[in-house]
Amino acid sequence: MLQEIRSGRWQEAGSGLWRRWFQDDDFDLFVWEDGEGRVVTLQLAWNRQGAERLVLWERDRGCRGLGVVDQGERDPSRNHSPVLSEENLSGEKEEMLQGRVLGKLRSGCAGLPEGVRQAVGALLEAVNSNR
């Protein structure tokens, strides 16, 4: 079940948004909320131990991206930043829709605050509608 990482909660300078971080064995869920506690943006990452995947959802735009996280760190003498790549995505969306990811996500969200659960529900709807 997703649990909040308390040290992962902080306010972004200049934006007025609060970032929250929830994690379990399968997922990292990053949530940005406005000053009234409404979810503005979600980033959901899974397969953290392998080729990490990420989907981005925004309240005003819906599902904005699904991709593979390129960790950027192939050479220990260089400091490359991770980036989201849409390469090699064959089957990623279907994997989500077939329930291997979504089933775990639904059960993992049971203990989340109501507003976050609703935003995750909107993310799931957005992924399904873009099928």
Strand partners, 53: 46, 68
* Nearest-angstrom CA–CA distance, 31 and 44: 9
- The domain containing residue 79 runs over which residues? 3-129
Q: Which has the closest alpha carbon to 55: 91, 92, 81, 18? A: 92
Three-class SS state of 74: coil
In whole angstroms, how far apart are CA 47 and each of 25, 67, 95, 114?
9, 12, 12, 25
Would you state the torsion angle of the CA atoms of residues 43, 48, 51, 53, taken in this order, to the nearest 10 degrees?
-20
pLDDT score recorded for residue 95 = 59
pLDDT score recorded for residue 80 = 61
Phi and psi of 117, rounded to 5°?
A: -60, -40
pTM of the predicted protein model: 0.76
Helices within the chain (DSSP H only): 92-97, 102-108, 114-129
Domain count of the fold of the chain: 1
Q: How do the pLDDT tens digits run along the chain, 131 residues long?
A: 899 998 877 888 788 899 999 999 888 999 999 989 999 999 888 877 777 788 888 888 887 766 666 666 666 666 666 555 565 444 555 555 556 677 788 888 888 999 999 888 888 777 666 64
